[in-house]
Structure 1
Amino acid sequence: MRGLSVANFEEIEEARKLLGLGEYATLKQIKQAYRRMAIQHHPDKAGNGAQAEEMMKQLNAAYKLLTDYCASFSYSFREEDVARIYPYDEYLRKSRHGWFEGI
């Protein structure tokens, strides 16, 4: 992985696979995956010195890359986008406020 400010798809893909993430992950899931892998591969626990240190460097780089990518992501707070992302909430809103309006 390169140290550029803008990551390309291959770098993102490599980072998510290293952390054991699927194609979709929340920031919380990224953090949990990083912590799980860091505990597993920490040099003090893994016991294989230089190899564990190299793995920790890779894990740290992957975590930074993914969290930086998520931090620079542009979120939409428009009503139609929120409704598209959270359709169940829209369903509940309709059931409470005029489900049969316009009939």
Structure 2
Amino acid sequence: MANFNQIDKARRLLGTGETATLKQVKAAYKRIANRYHPDRYKEVDKVKCDEMMKKINEAYELITKYCAEYSYPFREEDVRRTYPHDEYLRKYHYGWFDGI
């Protein structure tokens, strides 16, 4: 398992915030991998891009492995605590226009 510093360095390399969904991590990976893909550059810059792509791939692998090994709680109290704003949305946002 990676330590915090490794994961933090990886997420900064990919350009994600301190919190990100797996979907956001994948989008960040695609964006930066597209920018540094060696096929986009001439021979002179390919070596630098190859090195950068190795770092990008390692960062993505580290974060996805961390996410895959994360233990998600499925107990009712944990689910409720995870999404406390749902009650607020049901009460005040959804159906707000019904009374108008």
Match of 2:46 in 1: 49
Q: How many residues align?
A: 90
Any stretches of 5+ residues in structure 2 without a counterpart? 93-100
Work out the percentage of aligned pairs sharing the same amino acid: 59
Q: 1:24 to 1:92 in 2, by over 3 A?
A: closer
CA RMSD, Structure 1 to Structure 2 (Å): 1.6
Quick one: which of 56, 64, 68 aligns to 1:67? Answer: 64
- Stretches of 4+ moved more than 4 A in 1? 92-95
Quick one: distance in 2 between partners of 1:51 and 1:92? 49
* TM-score, normalised with respect to structure 2: 0.82
Structure 1 alignment gaps of length 5 or more: 1-5, 96-103
Structure-1-length-normalised TM-score = 0.80
Aligned pairs for 1:23-102 within 5 A: 23-47=18-42, 48-91=45-88
Structure (1 or 2) with the greater helix fraction: 2
Q: How many Å separate the matches in 2 of 1:60 and 1:20?
A: 13
